Amino acid sequence: MKSITFDIPEDAAIAARTPKGQATVGRILDAAIEIMVHEGHASLSMRKVAERLNMRISALQHHFANWEELLQAMITRVTSNYLREINRVLARPARSRLRQFESVLDYLLRDIKSPVSQSLFAQLWALAQTNDFARQAMVDTYGHERAVFEFFIRELNPALEKKEVAQRAALMATQIEGLMLLMPQQSRLPAELSGLEQLCLARTLELAHAPPAA
Protein backbone atom coordinates (compact mmCIF):
# COMPACT_ATOMS: atom_id res chain seq x y z
CA MET A 1 0.00 0.00 0.00
CA LYS A 2 1.52 3.30 -1.12
CA SER A 3 1.82 6.07 1.44
CA ILE A 4 -0.40 9.08 0.96
CA THR A 5 -0.20 12.67 2.17
CA PHE A 6 -2.48 15.52 1.20
CA ASP A 7 -1.12 18.88 0.11
CA ILE A 8 -1.48 21.51 2.81
CA PRO A 9 -2.21 25.17 1.94
CA GLU A 10 0.57 27.42 3.18
CA ASP A 11 -0.22 29.00 6.53
CA ALA A 12 0.46 32.76 6.48
CA ALA A 13 2.53 32.44 9.66
CA ILE A 14 4.84 29.94 7.97
CA ALA A 15 5.03 32.11 4.85
CA ALA A 16 6.27 35.13 6.80
CA ARG A 17 9.91 35.85 5.97
CA THR A 18 11.42 36.09 9.45
CA PRO A 19 10.91 34.18 12.73
CA LYS A 20 9.66 37.41 14.31
CA GLY A 21 7.19 37.89 11.46
CA GLN A 22 6.03 34.29 11.77
CA ALA A 23 5.39 34.73 15.49
CA THR A 24 3.51 37.98 14.95
CA VAL A 25 1.31 36.57 12.18
CA GLY A 26 0.61 33.53 14.33
CA ARG A 27 -0.57 35.74 17.20
CA ILE A 28 -2.74 37.79 14.84
CA LEU A 29 -4.46 34.70 13.47
CA ASP A 30 -4.94 33.20 16.92
CA ALA A 31 -6.53 36.44 18.13
CA ALA A 32 -8.79 36.74 15.07
CA ILE A 33 -10.02 33.15 15.38
CA GLU A 34 -10.62 33.62 19.11
CA ILE A 35 -12.72 36.71 18.45
CA MET A 36 -14.82 34.90 15.87
CA VAL A 37 -15.30 31.84 18.08
CA HIS A 38 -16.24 33.71 21.26
CA GLU A 39 -17.78 36.96 19.98
CA GLY A 40 -19.10 36.12 16.53
CA HIS A 41 -18.22 37.15 13.00
CA ALA A 42 -19.84 40.58 13.39
CA SER A 43 -17.20 41.44 16.01
CA LEU A 44 -14.27 40.56 13.77
CA SER A 45 -12.53 43.68 12.47
CA MET A 46 -8.97 44.78 11.85
CA ARG A 47 -9.27 47.31 14.67
CA LYS A 48 -10.65 44.73 17.12
CA VAL A 49 -7.77 42.35 16.41
CA ALA A 50 -5.21 45.15 16.78
CA GLU A 51 -6.75 46.20 20.10
CA ARG A 52 -6.75 42.61 21.36
CA LEU A 53 -2.99 42.44 20.72
CA ASN A 54 -2.17 46.00 21.86
CA MET A 55 -0.91 46.59 18.34
CA ARG A 56 -1.17 49.65 16.10
CA ILE A 57 -3.55 49.15 13.20
CA SER A 58 -0.72 50.08 10.83
CA ALA A 59 1.39 47.26 12.27
CA LEU A 60 -1.43 44.79 11.64
CA GLN A 61 -1.85 46.09 8.09
CA HIS A 62 1.84 45.42 7.48
CA HIS A 63 0.93 41.72 7.55
CA PHE A 64 -2.69 41.86 6.33
CA ALA A 65 -3.62 44.80 4.16
CA ASN A 66 -7.35 44.41 4.74
CA TRP A 67 -10.08 42.36 6.39
CA GLU A 68 -10.40 40.00 3.41
CA GLU A 69 -6.73 39.05 3.56
CA LEU A 70 -7.07 38.37 7.28
CA LEU A 71 -10.18 36.24 6.82
CA GLN A 72 -8.55 34.24 4.03
CA ALA A 73 -5.52 33.60 6.23
CA MET A 74 -7.79 32.47 9.08
CA ILE A 75 -9.64 30.01 6.88
CA THR A 76 -6.39 28.75 5.37
CA ARG A 77 -4.99 28.15 8.86
CA VAL A 78 -8.05 26.13 9.84
CA THR A 79 -7.86 24.10 6.62
CA SER A 80 -4.13 23.51 7.07
CA ASN A 81 -4.61 22.29 10.63
CA TYR A 82 -7.25 19.78 9.51
CA LEU A 83 -5.14 18.42 6.67
CA ARG A 84 -2.06 18.28 8.87
CA GLU A 85 -3.95 16.18 11.39
CA ILE A 86 -5.31 13.93 8.66
CA ASN A 87 -1.76 13.42 7.37
CA ARG A 88 -0.70 12.46 10.91
CA VAL A 89 -3.50 9.91 10.99
CA LEU A 90 -2.38 8.51 7.64
CA ALA A 91 1.24 8.28 8.81
CA ARG A 92 0.29 5.67 11.43
CA PRO A 93 0.68 2.00 10.51
CA ALA A 94 -2.49 0.62 8.93
CA ARG A 95 -3.38 -2.66 7.29
CA SER A 96 -5.47 -1.22 4.48
CA ARG A 97 -7.00 1.87 2.89
CA LEU A 98 -10.25 0.96 4.60
CA ARG A 99 -8.60 1.12 8.03
CA GLN A 100 -7.01 4.45 7.10
CA PHE A 101 -10.37 5.82 6.00
CA GLU A 102 -11.99 4.65 9.23
CA SER A 103 -9.26 6.46 11.19
CA VAL A 104 -9.83 9.69 9.24
CA LEU A 105 -13.58 9.46 9.81
CA ASP A 106 -13.01 8.83 13.50
CA TYR A 107 -10.89 11.98 13.73
CA LEU A 108 -13.55 14.07 11.96
CA LEU A 109 -16.35 12.69 14.12
CA ARG A 110 -14.35 13.53 17.25
CA ASP A 111 -13.57 17.04 16.05
CA ILE A 112 -17.18 18.02 15.41
CA LYS A 113 -17.84 17.48 19.13
CA SER A 114 -15.53 20.36 19.99
CA PRO A 115 -17.50 23.51 20.94
CA VAL A 116 -14.67 25.58 19.42
CA SER A 117 -15.02 23.84 16.04
CA GLN A 118 -18.81 24.10 16.23
CA SER A 119 -18.72 27.84 16.95
CA LEU A 120 -16.04 28.60 14.37
CA PHE A 121 -17.79 26.85 11.49
CA ALA A 122 -21.21 28.18 12.47
CA GLN A 123 -19.80 31.71 12.35
CA LEU A 124 -17.96 31.18 9.06
CA TRP A 125 -21.04 29.75 7.36
CA ALA A 126 -23.23 32.53 8.74
CA LEU A 127 -20.79 35.06 7.32
CA ALA A 128 -20.73 33.25 4.00
CA GLN A 129 -24.49 33.77 3.63
CA THR A 130 -24.04 37.51 3.12
CA ASN A 131 -20.39 37.97 2.12
CA ASP A 132 -19.24 36.87 -1.33
CA PHE A 133 -15.57 36.69 -0.35
CA ALA A 134 -16.29 34.50 2.69
CA ARG A 135 -18.62 32.34 0.59
CA GLN A 136 -15.94 31.54 -1.97
CA ALA A 137 -13.31 30.97 0.71
CA MET A 138 -15.56 28.41 2.41
CA VAL A 139 -16.35 26.69 -0.88
CA ASP A 140 -12.61 26.39 -1.51
CA THR A 141 -11.82 25.02 1.92
CA TYR A 142 -14.56 22.40 1.76
CA GLY A 143 -13.07 21.40 -1.56
CA HIS A 144 -10.04 20.16 0.38
CA GLU A 145 -12.23 18.00 2.63
CA ARG A 146 -14.07 16.54 -0.35
CA ALA A 147 -10.73 15.75 -2.00
CA VAL A 148 -9.83 13.56 0.98
CA PHE A 149 -13.11 11.67 0.67
CA GLU A 150 -12.73 11.39 -3.10
CA PHE A 151 -9.32 9.77 -2.72
CA PHE A 152 -10.62 7.05 -0.43
CA ILE A 153 -13.75 6.46 -2.52
CA ARG A 154 -11.60 5.93 -5.62
CA GLU A 155 -9.31 3.57 -3.72
CA LEU A 156 -12.18 1.53 -2.28
CA ASN A 157 -14.46 1.64 -5.32
CA PRO A 158 -12.48 2.18 -8.55
CA ALA A 159 -15.46 1.33 -10.76
CA LEU A 160 -17.15 4.65 -10.02
CA GLU A 161 -17.18 7.48 -12.54
CA LYS A 162 -15.58 10.79 -11.58
CA LYS A 163 -18.91 12.59 -11.16
CA GLU A 164 -20.31 9.93 -8.86
CA VAL A 165 -17.13 9.98 -6.77
CA ALA A 166 -17.51 13.74 -6.37
CA GLN A 167 -21.18 13.46 -5.46
CA ARG A 168 -20.56 10.76 -2.86
CA ALA A 169 -17.71 12.77 -1.34
CA ALA A 170 -20.00 15.79 -1.04
CA LEU A 171 -22.69 13.69 0.64
CA MET A 172 -20.17 12.31 3.12
CA ALA A 173 -18.93 15.79 4.03
CA THR A 174 -22.42 17.17 4.58
CA GLN A 175 -23.50 14.10 6.55
CA ILE A 176 -20.61 14.40 9.00
CA GLU A 177 -20.61 18.19 9.29
CA GLY A 178 -24.38 18.14 9.67
CA LEU A 179 -24.10 16.32 13.00
CA MET A 180 -22.92 19.63 14.48
CA LEU A 181 -26.46 20.96 14.03
CA LEU A 182 -27.64 18.44 16.60
CA MET A 183 -25.13 19.30 19.34
CA PRO A 184 -24.48 23.06 19.38
CA GLN A 185 -21.88 23.85 22.06
CA GLN A 186 -22.12 20.28 23.33
CA SER A 187 -19.67 17.38 23.16
CA ARG A 188 -22.35 14.71 22.74
CA LEU A 189 -25.60 14.11 20.95
CA PRO A 190 -28.95 14.19 22.80
CA ALA A 191 -29.73 10.92 24.61
CA GLU A 192 -32.52 10.02 22.17
CA LEU A 193 -29.97 10.12 19.32
CA SER A 194 -27.42 7.89 21.00
CA GLY A 195 -25.64 5.75 18.42
CA LEU A 196 -26.11 8.22 15.56
CA GLU A 197 -22.35 8.71 15.15
CA GLN A 198 -21.85 4.97 14.67
CA LEU A 199 -24.72 4.93 12.18
CA CYS A 200 -23.16 7.87 10.33
CA LEU A 201 -19.83 6.02 10.15
CA ALA A 202 -21.51 2.84 8.92
CA ARG A 203 -23.52 4.66 6.24
CA THR A 204 -20.45 6.58 5.09
CA LEU A 205 -18.53 3.35 4.58
CA GLU A 206 -21.52 1.78 2.83
CA LEU A 207 -21.66 4.76 0.47
CA ALA A 208 -17.96 4.39 -0.31
CA HIS A 209 -18.42 0.72 -1.23
CA ALA A 210 -21.82 0.87 -2.94
CA PRO A 211 -21.86 -0.13 -6.65
CA PRO A 212 -22.31 2.52 -9.32
CA ALA A 213 -25.79 3.97 -9.61
CA ALA A 214 -27.89 2.34 -12.29
**Span(s) in the chain for CATH 1.10.357:** 92-214
* Rounded distance between C-alpha atoms, residue 155 and residue 102, angstroms: 13
pLDDT score at 14: 64
**Span(s) in the chain for CATH 1.10.10.60:** 7-67
pLDDT score at 9: 86
CA 161 to centroid of chain Cα atoms: 26
**Going by CATH, does the domain composed of 7-67 fall within 1.10.10.60?**
yes
Walk along the chain (214 residues) and give the pLDDT tens digit of each residue.
788 899 988 876 666 678 888 889 999 999 999 999 999 999 999 999 999 999 999 999 989 999 999 999 999 999 999 999 999 999 988 789 999 999 999 999 999 999 999 999 999 999 999 999 999 989 988 999 999 999 999 999 999 999 999 999 999 999 999 999 999 898 889 999 999 999 999 999 999 999 998 7
**What's the CATH class of domain 92-214?**
mainly alpha
Tell me the average pLDDT of the chain: 92
Could you give the C-alpha distances from 151 to 33, 63, 129, 155, 165, in angstroms and in order? Answer: 30, 35, 29, 6, 9
